[in-house]
Structure 1
């Protein structure tokens, strides 16, 4: 497995926009990704326990706004995702690896190459930041903590 931190030059937003990155593409990625997540035996239950079926449209809009802000600079996301993730006691490295594997699969399937690479690089930084914050919150020792490794999907 390749550590998530070992990556080539990260594409710019301008390069991804030139390939067609827009809010519609972000929405397609988010919706397809969460369709796969909800069906996944490892991370699906984490989401099902916290998001009722009738709240999924709202959640998808919020996550679309997050990625639109992260990639396109729309500033449409105003939430604070860390407290929600800190409260998930069972959340661990296996969940983050699977989340990233499904995410890579989704963007590789739906997006042009540079756009997928941009999504992947940002998702890996998000996952590492969440992982480290959760570990600190739990009082884990972070010295020499290796980065996440990549998991294949499926």
Structure 2
């Protein structure tokens, strides 16, 4: 799957999308995610405390590369996610709901929408790749539904 979306969004940059905003989003989201009853246990199990800051730095680099075109991310996230055997659609829905909540709270509208669109595309790609890896029948799998965040 090729992402045809331009890397930078002039509207989001005009609203103030920059490295600092991305860092705020990543740090707030992952602080909340670690405490979340649905996705928190996955994060706490697979990202030990002593690796947490490095994880935040890597995710910040990912979003900076994705939204600002910085080229600072050089990771391979899929193999790590494939190894998380308990990962399922409930986790993806919750991740997206919390992420939407975070960016809507912290970002101007166009920037929040850019984050949301990318995050939904990423979640779908991950869940399809994970399903293929597990040998699941993906022929009639519907897209994720949006879950409200409490």
TM-score by length of 1: 0.92
Does the alignment pair 1:102 with 2:106?
no
Offset of 1:52 from its aligned partner? 1.3
Larger relative contact order, structure 1 or 2 (CA cutoff 8 Å, min sep 6): 1
Corresponding position of 1:57: 53
Matched, 1:23 2:54: no
Q: How does 1:7-18 map to 2 (within 5 A)?
A: 13-18=9-14
Q: What is residue 85 of structure 2 aligned with on the other side? A: 89
Distance 1:35 1:47, change over 3 A: same
* Unaligned runs of at least 5 residues, structure 2: none
Matches within 5 A, 1:106-125: 106-125=102-121
- Matches of 2:119 and 2:45, distance apart in 1: 23
State the Cα RMSD in Å: 1.3
**Structure 1: stretches of 5+ with no match in the other structure:** 1-9
Q: CA deviation at 1:63?
A: 0.2
Aligned to 1:146: 142
Runs of 4+ residues deviating >3 angstroms? none
Query: How many residue pairs end up in the alignment?
Result: 145
Q: Please, which of 32, 37, 45 is the counterpart of residue 41 of structure 2?
A: 45
| TM-score (normalizing by structure 2) | 0.94
